[in-house]
């Protein structure tokens, strides 16, 4: 027997790891380069180190949440509740610290609380068999209401300097939130590509039945994924409260739209099984650069929304095109 050898050589050299998700170089790299060149043309302040660092600080909170969402979407799930969980956890942590709780305990509480809400999402989705879109939409609405009940019309301001340092401080020229978000990205990259947790996440998104037949505990894995997303949101909430040096009941409103847009923009597929950590980082930065650049250029605030929306649809259209191209090569 000569073996089941079919020449697939045209496929050779298609990248590996993060790049493989959409085959070849992530088109967002090109989009980012174009954005940079265009914005530099209009604004000489844009490229300054201080402004670039400012971008990393602005996107840090988004980036941490989007890391968790990359896992959720890769497993063919979705978590719409991230903005509301962010708001609730942020307010609770701010209240606790304002009332005298030590900052480290406040941060730990934030992460635990976020994990708990994520676990509830996971349990509702797996045990009550509620569609993720609905389960997390319910959480989005209910938790926002709960936050307003908790806070009344008040807001917490002037938090301890150690918490503010986490959100606003610098180490040399590098903002603290940027350092923390980079750590989260590295951990997620390891989890996603080098652990069973990451592998089962993608596999469940690709073929849940096959995973069950192979003996993977599908429900348990899904609950872990949503819990992990919750932990990311919990951490992000404490950073955001530190950065704003305040917490109000509208904290994190509409964040879910930015996060999901960035993850999908980066190349993670909504139908699961296909995701990229690097792509999510690019997606978040693309949105961050547009927001920052448009302010510097002096463009109308609404122009950036038009730009982001258009880019999102264009990116997904391109990914679909690439995917069909790859599938046609099947012999």
Partner 1 sequence: MLEKNSQLLQVIHLRKNFGAIQAVKDVSFDIAPAEIVAIVGDNGAGKSTVAKVISGAYRRDGGEMLWNGGPYEPHEPDDARDIGIETMYQDLALVNDLDAAGNIFLNREPTRRLFRFLPLLDHKQMRERSAELLRRVKIELPSYDRPVRQLSGGQRQATAIGRILLSERARLIIMDEPTAALGVQEQRKVLELIRNLSDHGMAVMIISHNLEHVFTVSQRVIVLRGGEVAGIVSTAEVQKQDVVSLIMGGGA
Minimum distance between the CB of residue 211 and partner 1, rounded to whole angstroms? 7
18/39 with CB nearer partner 1:
18
Q: Which is nearer to partner 1, 121 or 203 (CB)?
A: 203
Distances (CA, A) of 121 to 127, 180, 225, 236, 305: 10, 26, 10, 18, 29
In the complex, minimum distance from the CB of residue 22 to partner 1, in angstroms, rounded to a whole number: 12
Angle, in degrees to the nearest 10, between helices 176-194 and 218-244: 170
Give the span between the Cα atoms of 189 and 177, in whole angstroms.
Answer: 18
Q: How far apart are CA 254 and CA 150, in angstroms?
A: 20
Structure tokens at 78: 């979705």
SS3 state of residue 157: strand
CA–CA dist 39, 37 (Å, integer): 6
SS3 category, 69? helix
Q: Are 277 and 184 in contact (CB under 8 A)?
A: no
Residue closer to partner 1 by CB (options 1, 99) is 1
The least distance separating partner 1 from the CB of residue 70, rounded to whole angstroms, comes to 15
Least distance to partner 1, CB of residue 9, Å? 8
Q: Which is nearer to partner 1, 6 or 50 (CB)?
A: 6
d(CA 119, CA 137): 15
Q: For the CB of residue 182, give the shortest distance to partner 1 in the complex, in Å.
A: 17
For 128-139, b/e burial (b = at least 16 CB within 10 A) is eebebeebbbeb
Identify any residues that bridge with 179 across adjacent strands, giving them in sequence order.
none
Cβ distance to partner 1 smaller for residue 6 or 254: 6
DSSP state of 9: G
Nearest CB to partner 1, comparing residues 131 and 195: 195
**Binding stretches for partner 1 (CB under 8 A):** 1, 3-8, 11, 16, 190, 194-196, 199, 202-203, 205-207, 209-211, 213-216, 273-274, 326-327, 329-331
Q: State the minimum distance, in angstroms, from the CB of residue 331 to partner 1.
A: 5
Between residues 42 and 271, which has the closer beta carbon with respect to partner 1? 271
CB of 270 to partner 1, least distance (A): 14
Residue with tokens 């929304």: 305
Helix, strand, coil shares of the chain as percentages rounded to 5? 75, 0, 25
Q: CB-wise, 150 or 187, nearer to partner 1?
A: 187
Cβ of residue 121: shortest distance to partner 1, in angstroms? Answer: 24
């Amino acid at each position: 027997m000569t073996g089941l050898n079919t020449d697939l050589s045209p496929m050779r050299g298609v990248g590996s790891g993060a790049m493989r998700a959409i085959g070849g170089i992530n088109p967002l790299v090109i989009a980012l380069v174009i954005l940079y060149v265009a914005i530099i043309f209009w604004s000489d302040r844009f490229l300054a180190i201080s402004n670039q660092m400012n971008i990393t600080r602005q996107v840090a909170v988004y980036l941490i949440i989007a890391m968790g969402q990359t896992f959720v979407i890769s497993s063919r799930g979705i978590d719409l509740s991230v903005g509301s969980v962010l708001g609730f956890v942020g307010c609770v942590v701010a209240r606790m610290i304002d009332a005298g709780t030590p900052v480290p305990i406040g941060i730990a509480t934030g992460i635990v609380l976020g994990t708990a809400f994520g676990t509830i999402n996971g349990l509702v989705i797996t045990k009550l068999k509620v569609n993720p879109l609905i389960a997390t939409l319910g959480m989005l609405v209910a938790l926002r209401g709960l936050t307003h009940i908790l806070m009344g019309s008040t807001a917490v301001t002037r938090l301890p300097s150690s918490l503010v340092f986490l959100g606003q401080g610098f180490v040399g020229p590098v903002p603290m939130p940027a350092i923390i978000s980079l750590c989260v990205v590295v951990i997620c990259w390891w989890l996603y590509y080098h652990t069973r947790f990451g592998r089962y996440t993608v596999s469940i998104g690709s073929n849940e039945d096959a995973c069950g037949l192979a003996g993977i505990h599908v429900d348990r894995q899904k609950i872990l994924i949503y819990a992990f997303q919750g932990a990311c949101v919990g951490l992000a909430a404490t950073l955001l409260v530190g950065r704003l040096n305040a917490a109000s009941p509208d904290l994190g409103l509409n964040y879910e739209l930015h996060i999901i847009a960035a993850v999908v923009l980066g190349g993670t597929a909504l139908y699961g099984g296909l995701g990229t950590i690097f792509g999510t980082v690019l997606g978040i930065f693309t949105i961050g650069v547009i927001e920052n650049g448009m302010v510097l250029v002096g463009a109308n605030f609404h122009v950036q929304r038009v730009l982001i929306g258009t880019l999102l649809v264009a990116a997904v259209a391109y990914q679909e095109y690439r995917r069909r191209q790859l599938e046609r090569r099947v012999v």
